[in-house]
Amino acid sequence: MMSRSDKMQFSRQRRTVIAGVAALSSYLILPTVSYASSKKPTSTGRERMDIDRFVEDCVIANKESDAQAAVKEVLAKAVSTPNTIINALGEPSKAGLNVLLSSPTLTIFAATWTPQMNLMPHDHLMWANIGIYTGREDNIFWKRSADGIKAYGAEALFTGDATSLPDNAVHSVTNPLLRFTGGIHIYGGDFFNTTRSQWDPETLNKEPSDGAVIRGIFQRENERLGIDSNG
Residues in contact with 38: Cβ distance below 8 Å, sequence separation at least 6, in sequence order: none
141: buried, middle or exposed (CB in 10 Å: 19+, 13-18, 0-12)? Answer: middle
**What 3-state class would DSSP assign to 107?**
strand
Q: What is the pTM of this model?
A: 0.80
Question: With contact defined as beta carbons under 8 Å apart, do 97 and 215 qualify?
Answer: yes
Q: What is the CATH number of domain 51-225?
A: 2.60.120.10
Torsion sign over Cα 163, 116, 200, 183: negative
pLDDT at 35 (0 to 100):
24
Domain boundaries, the chain: 1-39, 51-225
Q: How far is CA 165 from CA 139, 201, 231, in A?
A: 11, 21, 32
| pLDDT score at 229 | 80
d(CA 104, CA 107): 8
Instruction: Determine the pLDDT at residue 45.
Output: 63
Residue ranges of E strands in 48-176: 96-102, 107-113, 118-123, 128-134, 136-145, 148-158, 162-165, 170-174
**197 with 207: CB under 8 angstroms?**
yes
State the Cα–Cα distance between residues 51 and 54, nearest whole angstrom. 5
Amino acid identity of 20?
Answer: G
**pLDDT tens digits, residue range 13-63?**
544 444 443 433 333 333 332 223 233 444 456 899 999 999 999 999 999
SS3 162: strand
Residue 182 in 3-state DSSP? strand
Q: CA–CA separation, 204 vs 79, rounded Å?
A: 33
* CA atoms of 182 and 132, how far apart (whole Å): 6
3-state secondary structure of 193: coil
What's the pLDDT at 165? 98
Nearest to 199 by CA among 157, 156, 151: 151
User: How far is the C-alpha of 96 from the C-alpha of 175, rounded, in Å?
Assistant: 13
pLDDT at 1: 52
Mean pLDDT, consecutive 10-residue stretches, the chain (231 aa), reads 50 47 35 30 72 98 98 98 98 98 98 98 98 98 95 98 98 98 98 97 97 96 92 67
User: Would you state the pLDDT for residue 46?
Assistant: 85
